Amino acid sequence: MMTEVKRNNWSRFCKKFNVSNQYRQTTVSVRRRNKNVIKISEHSPLMGITIAKRGRFIDGIDLFTAQHDPGRLAEPILSIKEPVRITLEKDDSGMDNRLSVESKDGSVASIVLLGEKDGRQYHTLVEKLAYSIGEHRGFAPGGDQEDWFEAERKIKETELQLIR
């Protein structure tokens, strides 16, 4: 079943979508107006989507997936400029299956949601991010626990930004 999200509900929809689907595996692609399909990411855990505004006007929609680089965790992997339509497809059980965002230029970004929400994805992300933090500081002895706590803090901070 496919439904279109009304524009005046986009902000509320994004927050609800993020709460329901954070850490689900995704495949993200963009179909350009000329019909070329570009795969952006494959099997990446979803962090969320947000509305990008310029003043009171919606400028775009940003998509965030789990990143292992501490400096890029809160950066979108895809920004859809001038969105005109959001549709959500659910499977027979009512679970979100595909989110599509159409832009003014005719391109369509598709986020295919795979499997169910998985808390183990959070643990794996913390582990990889903590390793990356340790790597950035040269793996100096005695910092493992601080790296782990820093990774958890950065991830929770990003999560909260996406569901508030």
The pLDDT tens digits for 15-25 are: 999 999 999 99
Report yes or no on 157 lying in a domain: no
34-75 pLDDT, tens per residue? 889 999 999 889 999 999 988 888 999 999 998 888 878 778
Q: How many structural domains compose the chain?
A: 1
Q: Which residues are paired to 42 by β-bridges?
A: 27
pTM for this model (two decimals): 0.87
pLDDT at 118: 78
Question: Among 85, 81, 78, which Cα is nearest to 111's?
Answer: 78
Report yes or no on 149 lying in a domain: no
Report yes or no on 22 lying in a domain: yes
Q: How many CB atoms lie within 10 A of CB 124?
A: 15
Spatial distance between the Cα atoms of 145 and 154, rounded to a whole number of angstroms? 14
Domain of 30 in residue numbering reads as 2-118
Predicted confidence (pLDDT) at residue 131 exceeds the cutoff of 80: yes
SS3 of 41, please?
strand
The token duo for 123 is 């643990």
Q: How many CB atoms lie within 10 A of CB 40?
A: 17
Report yes or no on 125 lying in a domain: no
Report yes or no on 50 lying in a domain: yes
Report yes or no on 163 lying in a domain: no
Report yes or no on 55 lying in a domain: yes
Report yes or no on 153 lying in a domain: no
